[in-house]
């Protein structure tokens, strides 16, 4: 199966290309940084660069509650176009979606089902 890198955080396993050749967003939400292509960029006007800066300022936490990060996952600064200069528009304040609480690591096989979370993200 093909996978695609996130333009924000360089997470390498997006299922869809962030942008189709015709320019439309994939509507896929990156599990690492939480950026949703076609929504956060097109509808909210937040560029990947802007999202990255704010996300990193907030600690670059894994975003998805439904998808577990790989063991030892850590955002690697410099892998996603860090060298590019921020545009003047990047100075505006952005409000990110609230990040979910950190998922707890399941160390032993759960005998009982964990209570289902309402957030499917
Ligand atoms: Zn990402």
pLDDT of residue 55: 97
68 Cα–ligand 1 center, Å = 14
pLDDT of residue 1: 78
Centre of ligand 1 from the C-alpha of residue 42, in Å? 16
pLDDT number for residue 85: 43
Residue range(s) defining the domain that contains residue 14: 1-121
Residue 52 CA to ligand 1 center (angstroms) comes to: 8
- For the chain, residues with pLDDT lower than 70 are 78-95, 98-100, 103, 105-117, 119-121
Cα of 41 from ligand 1 centre, angstroms:
13
Asked whether the whole model's pTM tops 0.85, one would answer: no
Ligand 1 centroid to residue 95 C-alpha, Å: 16
pLDDT tens figures, 16-28 = 999 988 889 999 9
Tell me how far the alpha carbon of residue 112 lies from the centroid of ligand 1, in angstroms: 32
In the chain, the number of structural domains is 1
d(CA 27, CA 4): 14
- Tell me how far the alpha carbon of residue 79 lies from the centroid of ligand 1, in angstroms: 11
């Amino acid at each position: 199966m093909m996978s695609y890198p996130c333009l924000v955080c360089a997470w390498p396993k997006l299922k869809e290309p962030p942008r189709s050749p015709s320019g439309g967003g994939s509507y896929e939400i990156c599990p690492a940084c939480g950026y949703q292509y076609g929504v956060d960029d097109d509808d909210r006007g937040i560029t990947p660069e802007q999202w990255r800066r704010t996300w990193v300022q907030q600690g670059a936490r894994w975003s998805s509650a439904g998808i577990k990060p790989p063991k030892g996952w850590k955002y690697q600064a410099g892998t996603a176009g860090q060298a590019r200069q921020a545009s003047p528009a990047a100075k505006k304040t952005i409000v990110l979606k609230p990040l979910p609480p950190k998922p707890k690591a399941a160390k032993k096989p759960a005998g009982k089902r964990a209570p289902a979370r309402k957030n499917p993200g």
